[in-house]
A = this chain, B = another copy of it.
Amino acid sequence: MSYRSPVRDILFSLKAVAGLPEMIGSELDADCDWETISSVVAEAGRFATEEIAPLNRAGDLIGARYENGVVAMPAGFGDVYRRWAEAGWGGVSAPAEFGGMGLPHQVNVACTEIWNGASMAFALCPLLTEGAIGALKAFGSRELLDLYLPKMIAGRWTGTMNLTEPQAGSDLNAVRTRAERAGDGSYRIFGQKIFITYGEHDMVENIVHLVLARLPDAPAGTRGLSLFLAPKFLINPDGSLGQRNDLRCASIEHKLGIHASPTCVMIYGENEGAKAWLIGEENRGLAAMFVMMNAARLAVGTQGVGVGERAYQQALAFARERRQGRGPKGGDGMAPIIEHADVQRMLMTMKANVQAARGVCHLTAASLDLASHGRTAEARAAGADRAALLTPIAKAFSSDIGDEAASLGVQVHGGMGFIEETGAAQHTRDSRIAAIYEGANGVQAIDLVQRKLPLAGGETVRNEIAGIRSVARQVAGTGGDGFGGTAAVLSDAADALDAATIAMRGWLQSDQESALAGAAQYLRLFGLTLGGACLAKAGLAAEALAVQGNGGELARVGLARFFAEKLLPVAPGLARAIAAGSASQQTHEAILADSA
């Protein structure tokens, strides 16, 4: 069950897939260098491997405990969290002005994977804090920034996102929590929020809640939502902690997984109202919320990569140890099960999918870096559009992949995988949430089709497909024999994606139901094809290194080939399924009628 952060794979992906080293100092206005980045990622890997990873199993067994409004974290979580914060990990990509490292978001995503691979339940606390920091930074007043950001970036205070209510999940139109103007520039919040991750815990001295609420005179729907900051403890003008605010955790949920991450019911304003401050403008909360949602969506995709990697490592270790049956090499005794072709298939599927999803997440982060630090307004706009296109794919594809990898990990273990002590089952229980929260994967697919395909008149998605085709051509032209059928399959997949995109864009005008009916398969098709291109890019970079005398990365060619030959060939079939539209769902009422 030991886990080692995949630093080598992560750095290779940042280099070869996202192109981070070339971006620094050229497209990207960033004050850092690749050597620093490499050592930061390596150090994050060391910390996660040595300090966080050992918490994961006990965190699952013990879980967060609720009593009288207080949430006790499992033993060790608080200590490790504080060491993590003291080492500065709360500010990897936060601005230096507020105490952050000021590194590109790509480095932050690399670290996010590392924390999540070590313990998803632990890593959720920083994940939410980072989302809150992002919204605050983008829309908060100078006063709020100065009061809150340094403490949050230093990890001394953590942050939460309070969106969901019992009647308002995917649909935020239904948010009922209300805010009243206090007359002194502050507000009072009243209402109940559910599913609030780390809404209460005992690792830090204060918790900063970002709360979506509705003013009395606000318009209906999401255009009447405002975003507020409500701290657990009010802050005195000198920055010290003051009175307890009128908000509390009423209970925590009993969940399938991530047991150590408290999922809280939060009650605001049982008495005089929870004191709160506006972030951004009144009734413009949705825009601020989307800043934190988008960062969180990429982070949740990255969780899938992290958990998938951990499941892979554990299955690999088991497959090398466990002996059953004769291997293809023959011999008297039983062979390690890794010698069996079907076990190889499972392990390689896990590795290839995780690496593909990692590449998609890194590309998304690179686009976000361009969006915020590109040298020209044009580059920033293109970066923002590309990030917008890729974010739902990074979120949904990667979280699905994480869950599939965790399930394959159980399968590799055979009967032992079903026994909780083995630890493989925990990964499936933990990973399952990633496809649900921060916008369920079905919602991501609809976002991709309805809002992202039309970006820049369709230019953003056309560029993405052109980029994939270009990789396929490079493999065909310069890739060695080791790539096997990669170029042909990747090219066919790009054609399939292109055709499906054209169909989708047509339906957006004429037949919404067909677009919506195919959205999930379209997102999968996109993720697979882009993931295949990421692996092929890594393979091409490995071949280029080999030409320079370093053959140590050549296995990446084989991984790209496996993905292309064994996993990507379903792409044209997905396009055919999408092309069938929604005709077969039109009689859904009769089809879904009672079968008893």
CB within 8 Å of B: which residues of A?
4-9, 45, 49, 164, 167-171, 173-174, 194-195, 253-257, 309, 313, 316, 323-325, 328, 334, 338, 340-348, 351, 403, 407, 410-411, 414-415, 417-421, 425, 428-429, 432-433, 435-437, 440-442, 445-446, 482, 484-485, 489, 512-513, 516-517, 519-521, 554-555, 558-559, 561-562, 565-567, 569-574, 576-577, 580, 582-585, 587-588, 590-596
Contact = CB atoms under 8 A, between A and B. Distances in A.
A482 B590 CA distance: 13
A342 B593 contact: no
18 contacts: A6-B596, A45-B596, A49-B596, A254-B421, A256-B410, A256-B420, A256-B425, A309-B595, A328-B513, A345-B520, A348-B592, A411-B440, A418-B433, A418-B437, A555-B590, A558-B587, A558-B590, A562-B591
Contacts of A6: 595-596
A86 to B, nearest CB: 25
A570 B566 contact: no
A421 B254 CA distance: 7
Contacts of A4: 594, 596
A434 B588 CA distance: 29
Nearest to A355: B595
Given A418-B257, A520-B342, A577 B565 contact: yes
A482 B411 CA distance: 39
A399 to B, nearest CB: 11
Given A344-B517, A348-B588, A571-B573, 17 more contacts: A256-B428, A256-B429, A313-B595, A316-B592, A351-B592, A403-B407, A425-B432, A484-B580, A485-B580, A558-B588, A558-B590, A558-B591, A565-B580, A566-B584, A570-B573, A570-B577, A572-B572
A401 to B, nearest CB: 14
Nearest to A335: B171
Contact of A407 (B253, B432, B590): B432
Contact of A596 (B8, B348, B585): B8
Contacts of A8: 594-596
Nearest to A12: B595
A255 B577 contact: no
A588 B418 contact: no
A114 B67 CA distance: 42
Q: Which 9 A-B pairs have the closest CB atoms?
A: A341-B516, A4-B596, A570-B573, A565-B580, A555-B590, A562-B584, A342-B442, A569-B576, A569-B573
B584 A171 contact: no
A341 B445 CA distance: 11
A577 B49 CA distance: 36
B418 A170 contact: no
A442 to B, nearest CB: 4
Nearest to A319: B592
B442 A343 contact: yes
Contacts of A561: 583-584
A298 B436 CA distance: 33
Nearest to A195: B415
